[in-house]
């Protein structure tokens, strides 16, 4: 699925850095999601935004801070990450909170040094 665009594709950062992951969709979807996927594991939900409001936070550590500036954009701000946070971060969107299917971006592969 290329209708959901994620940048950057790859990111290497130190544990003291601050960086942001970006996700954009222009399908008019009103629900957006962040998932984390470790190697050889399935994706796991982190956050859900519904109509630009945070509706689900799956007990994610505060070093991950999501933001939804408008209905097309979703950011994930990163600060003081740990090596175990290295993973593929996937963004998805769906027409509405109760409407599927979800469409996924290509992901950002994050490495923490």
Partner 1 sequence: GIQVEQSPPDLILQEGANSTLRCNFSDSVNNLQWFHQNPWGQLINLFYIPSGTKQNGRLSATTVATERYSLLYISSSQTTDSGVYFCAAPQTGANNLFFGTGTRLTVIP
- Residues within the interface to partner 1 (CB under 8 A): 1, 31, 33, 37, 41-45, 48, 50, 56, 58, 88, 90, 94, 97-98, 100-104, 106-107, 109
Q: How far is the CB of 16 from partner 1 (least distance, A)?
A: 27
Nearer to partner 1, 4 or 78 (CB): 4
Distance (Å, whole) CA 96 – CA 86: 30
* CA–CA distance, 58 with 96 (Å, rounded to integer): 19
Spacing of C-alpha 105 from chain mean position: 9
To partner 1, the closest distance from the beta carbon of 92 in angstroms equals 8
Q: Which residue's CB is nearer to partner 1, number 80 or number 106?
A: 106
Q: How far is the CB of 65 from partner 1 (least distance, A)?
A: 19
Q: What is the DSSP string of 61-106?
A: -TTEEEEEEETTEEEEEEES--GGG-EEEEEEEESBTTB---EE--
Q: Are 105 and 6 in contact (CB under 8 A)?
A: yes
Q: Is the Cβ of residue 26 or residue 41 nearer to partner 1 in the bound state?
A: 41
**CB of residue 53 to partner 1, shortest distance in Å:** 13
Residue 58 or 82 with smaller CB distance to partner 1: 58
Distance CA 38, CA 64 (A): 16
């Amino acid at each position: 699925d290329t209708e959901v665009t994620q940048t950057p594709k790859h990111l290497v950062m130190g544990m003291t850095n601050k960086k942001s992951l970006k996700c954009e969709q222009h399908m008019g979807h009103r629900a957006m999601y962040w998932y984390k996927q470790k190697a050889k594991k399935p994706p796991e939900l982190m956050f859900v935004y519904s109509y630009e409001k945070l509706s689900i936070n799956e007990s994610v550590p505060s070093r991950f801070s999501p933001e939804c500036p408008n209905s097309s954009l979703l950011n994930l701000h990163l600060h003081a990450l740990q090596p175990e946070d290295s993973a593929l971060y996937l963004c998805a969107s769906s027409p509405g909170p109760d409407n599927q299917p979800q469409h996924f971006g290509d992901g950002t592969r994050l490495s923490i040094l």
